[in-house]
């Protein structure tokens, strides 16, 4: 059998692309690991933040909001998003940092300045002397990533797609305009490859002789600690701290914390660095009144970026029938519905005139100019 599309990677990008493509085509998704969603997708902070990322990412997220609020009938059994809100606090001297956030405020998703006292009421464990100014963004939501990912996987299967785990793509050959995709145990034929391999996307590109898109996986660390006694975690917003990328957010009755690190690395099964965790714990205890007696859980994941930090979606300019769906950075969960739809429209040549400029701004061609590389 020659599949119309073979998707490499079973994270949120591959699962959502398989779901959209399977509406009108035969689809095989190959995932290297024992389970889909094992890498970046299973390690995110699970936030939907409309006012985040570069302008094109913000535009994508604004469009994605509709899917999260009104998913297709039968897609999932529980809501995909729950309102959380995001508080950003600034210590003395950093008040100006909040102006940039306020400037991003959209009428549909406003960011408002609030009094430090109100910020302390929302998050009583903050140190009052460290909160000189604050803003609140009401539209930030928690995403049920597991439900979203499962919705795409189950929806793709219901549309006839085959999802095969424990199938790492090791090599690819092209014969008579058909791709032959080889794993350790089997070979598959397809008319078109969709490269949704996350941090490994450039490695997969190299298998077909494509030029690098200059993808840089960046490690981000997270820990879970006990919440202070008596704190109503359910009512807590996520909390950003001006002048640093660090953040806290409630997680099932506990507190998740991340230093917001972005350490460039090779693609690998990321794990947290002990020093990053030690620095994070020290920061939590200085910045808040939380005492970290024990780290209940820690992990790290890779957020993969190209130079302009916008995703890469489109056919390779040189290699025929090879489609990139990569570079989702720190926004791949929230962008997934829109990028998957665009992938299907581009792959089936049904992209509307109104989407052409949008598609052009995500096309892989731009990465060669940005990156200047040809390796
Ligand atoms: C700590 C952290 C916090 C984050 N917070 C958020 C957030 O709040 N909101 C948000 O929207 N995003 C967030 N992100 C980003 C988000 O998780 C990613 O953008 C997204 O998961 C990327 O999805 P993906 O499918 O491209 O990659 P992945 O989930 O990594 O999937 C790629 C898959 O390809 C497979 N693969 C690779 N090579 C091969 C091969 N040769 N053969 C077969 N399979 C292969 C891998 O095994 C992997 O399963 C966060 C990320 C991290 C690490």
**Using an 8 Å Cβ cutoff, are 196 and 327 in contact?**
no
**Residues 202 and 225 occupy one common structural domain:** no
Question: What's the structural domain count of the chain?
Answer: 2
- Residue 110 falls inside a structural domain: yes
Q: Which domain holds residue 325?
A: 2-68+144-215+308-371
Residues sharing a CB contact under 8 Å with residue 89, sequence separation 6 or more, in sequence order: 116, 119, 123, 126, 130, 131, 133, 134, 239, 240, 241, 242
Task: Report yes or no on whether pTM surpasses 0.85.
Answer: yes
**Residues 222 and 247 occupy one common structural domain:** yes
**Residues 95 and 111 occupy one common structural domain:** yes
Best residue among 53, 145, 332, 335 to mutate for probing ligand 1's pocket (most ligand atoms within 8 Å of CB) is: 332
Query: What is the position in ligand 1's atom list of the atom closest to the CA of 15?
Result: 25
Pairwise CA distance, residues 307 & 132, whole Å? 34
**Using an 8 Å Cβ cutoff, are 180 and 189 in contact?**
yes
**Residues 229 and 301 occupy one common structural domain:** yes
Q: Given 276, 305, 334, which residue is the final one in a domain?
A: 305
- Residue 79 falls inside a structural domain: no
**Using an 8 Å Cβ cutoff, are 118 and 25 in contact?**
no
**Residues 242 and 297 occupy one common structural domain:** yes
The protein residue whose alpha carbon is closest to atom 22 in ligand 1 is 332
Query: What is the position in ligand 1's atom list of the atom closest to the CA of 33?
Result: 47
Query: What is the position in ligand 1's atom list of the atom closest to the CA of 207?
Result: 41
Mean pLDDT by 10 residues, the chain (375 residues): 98 98 98 98 96 93 96 96 97 92 80 96 96 96 98 98 98 97 98 98 98 97 96 94 96 96 97 96 96 96 97 97 98 98 95 87 86 53
**Residues 243 and 272 occupy one common structural domain:** yes
Comparing C-alpha atoms, which of 178, 148, 195, 94 is closest to residue 334?
Answer: 148
Ligand 1 centroid, distance to 96 Cα (angstroms) = 34
Pairwise CA distance, residues 179 & 200, whole Å? 19
**Residues 149 and 206 occupy one common structural domain:** yes
Best residue among 148, 210, 265, 333 to mutate for probing ligand 1's pocket (most ligand atoms within 8 Å of CB) is: 333
- Residue 73 falls inside a structural domain: no
Query: What is the position in ligand 1's atom list of the atom closest to the CA of 38?
Result: 49
Best residue among 11, 186, 334 to mutate for probing ligand 1's pocket (most ligand atoms within 8 Å of CB) is: 11
Pairwise CA distance, residues 239 & 126, whole Å? 10
**Residues 233 and 295 occupy one common structural domain:** yes
Ligand 1 centroid, distance to 71 Cα (angstroms) = 21
What digits encode the pLDDT tens for the residues 10-48? 999 999 999 999 999 999 999 999 999 999 999 999 999
**Residues 296 and 361 occupy one common structural domain:** no
Query: What is the position in ligand 1's atom list of the atom closest to the CA of 220?
Result: 1
Residue at token pair 């490269």: 195
- Residue 20 falls inside a structural domain: yes
Question: How much is the pLDDT for 355?
Answer: 85
Residues sharing a CB contact under 8 Å with residue 218, sequence separation 6 or more, in sequence order: 261, 262, 263, 264, 265, 302, 303, 304, 305
Query: What is the position in ligand 1's atom list of the atom closest to the CA of 221?
Result: 1
CATH code, domain with 316: 3.50.50.60
The SS3 call for residue 119 is: helix
- Residue 80 falls inside a structural domain: no
Q: Which residues lie with the beta carbon below 6 Å from any ligand 1 atom?
A: 8-14, 30-33, 38-41, 43-47, 168-169, 196-200, 204, 220, 222, 258, 301, 303, 328-334
Sort 372 into a burial class: Cβ within 10 Å, 0-12 / 13-18 / 19+.
exposed
Q: Given 254, 280, 305, which residue is the final one in a domain?
A: 305
Comparing C-alpha atoms, which of 305, 311, 308 is closest to residue 346?
Answer: 311
- Residue 76 falls inside a structural domain: no
**Residues 299 and 329 occupy one common structural domain:** no
Comparing C-alpha atoms, which of 356, 354, 367 is closest to residue 311?
Answer: 367
CATH code, domain with 230: 3.30.9.10
């Amino acid at each position: 059998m020659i599949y119309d599309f073979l998707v490499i990677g079973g994270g949120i990008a591959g699962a959502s692309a398989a779901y959209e493509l399977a509406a009108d085509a035969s689809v095989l998704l190959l995932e290297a690991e024992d389970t889909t969603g094992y890498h970046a997708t299973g390690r995110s902070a699970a936030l939907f933040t409309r006012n985040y990322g570069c302008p094109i990412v913000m535009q994508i997220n604004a469009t994605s909001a509709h899917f999260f609020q009104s998913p297709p009938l039968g897609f999932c059994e529980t809501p995909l998003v729950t309102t959380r809100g995001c508080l950003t606090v600034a210590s003395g001297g950093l008040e100006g940092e909040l102006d940039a956030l306020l400037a991003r405020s959209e009428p549909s998703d406003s960011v408002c300045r609030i009094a430090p006292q109100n910020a302390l009421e929302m998050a009583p464990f903050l140190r009052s002397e460290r909160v000189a100014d604050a803003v609140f963004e009401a539209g930030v939501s928690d995403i049920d990533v597991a439900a979203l990912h499962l919705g795409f996987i189950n929806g793709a299967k219901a549309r006839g797609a085959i999802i095969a785990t424990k199938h790492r793509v090791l090599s690819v050959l092209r014969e008579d305009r058909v791709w032959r995709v080889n794993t350790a145990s089997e070979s598959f034929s397809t008319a078109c490859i969709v490269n949704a391999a996350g941090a490994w996307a450039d490695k997969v590109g190299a298998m077909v002789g494509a030029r690098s898109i200059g993808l840089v996986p960046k490690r981000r660390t997270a820990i879970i600690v006990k919440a202070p006694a008596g704190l109503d975690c359910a009512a807590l917003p996520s909390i950003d701290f001006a002048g640093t990328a660090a953040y806290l957010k409630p997680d099932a009755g506990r507190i998740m914390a991340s230093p917001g690190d972005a350490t460039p690395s090779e693609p690998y099964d990321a794990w947290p660095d002990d020093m990053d965790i030690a620095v994070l714990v020290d920061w939590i205890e200085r910045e808040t009144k939380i005492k970290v007696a024990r780290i209940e859980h820690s992990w790290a994941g890779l957020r993969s970026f190209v130079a302009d930090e916008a995703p890469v979606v489109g056919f390779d300019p040189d290699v025929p029938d090879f489609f990139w769906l990569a570079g989702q950075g720190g926004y791949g969960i929230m962008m997934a519905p829109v990028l998957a739809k665009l992938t299907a429209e581009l792959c089936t040549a049904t992209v509307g005139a109104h989407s052409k400029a949008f598609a052009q701004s995500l096309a892989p061609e731009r990465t060669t100019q940005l990156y200047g590389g040809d390796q």
